[in-house]
Amino acid sequence: MTDIDVRALDRELKRGSAELLILSLLDARPRHGYELSKLIHTRSGGQLSFHIDSLYPLLYRLEERAWIQGTWVEKPGARRRRFYRVTAEGRRVLARQRKTWDAFVEAVRRVTGGERA
């Protein structure tokens, strides 16, 4: 595999995993951008984090694909917030991505675990 292929794979993995992370977190319930950012950081033990200038463009991209839908929610005495929820199409994509990701992780585990066995 060439260096370019490795970089392309790395980019695709990051992009695909970022979408998977967002869709998975929103599958549980609607959340706003800052909450998503905090959850990814804390649940990954600080290993994963989104910068503000990549998190929101990613949310807007998923929104343009109609995988998630953002809605402004107003509460008394508080500033309105934009909450995102997964659409039906987003859930179908999430199911496919989970399947693909599981297969990928299993394949990598077989390769890397084979030497130790």
Partner 1 sequence: VPDPSTPTNKAPLRAGWASEIRSRLASVRLAPAREAEIVEELSQHLEDRWRELVAGGADPDVARQSALAEFRGPDVLARYLAPLRQAHWADPARPVGRGFVLGGVMTDLRNAVRALRAMPGFTIVALVVLTLGIGATTAIFSVVDAVVLRGLPFDEHNRLVAVGERGSPGGGKKRPAGPGPAPDPQAIGVVQPQNYLDWIAQQQVFASIAAVWDDTPTHRLPGAEPEELVAQRVTASFFDVLRIRPTIGRPLRPTTKSTDAIGWRC
Residues that bind partner 1 (CB under 8 A): 32-34, 37, 51-54, 56-58, 60-61, 64, 72, 79, 81-82
Least distance in angstroms from the C-beta of 11 to partner 1 = 13
- Of 101, 92, 90, 103, the residue nearest 16 (C-alpha): 101
Q: Report the relative pairing of strands 68-73 and 31-32 from DSSP bridges.
A: unpaired
C-beta of 85 vs 98, nearer to partner 1: 85
Neighbours of 90 (CB within 10 A): 23
CA–CA separation, 4 and 84 (whole Å): 35
CB of 53 to partner 1, least distance (A): 4
CB of 61 to partner 1, least distance (A): 6
Cβ atoms of 62 and 22 closer than 8 Å: yes
Decide whether 34 or 104 has the Cβ nearer to partner 1: 34
Residue with Cβ nearer partner 1 (61 or 85):
61
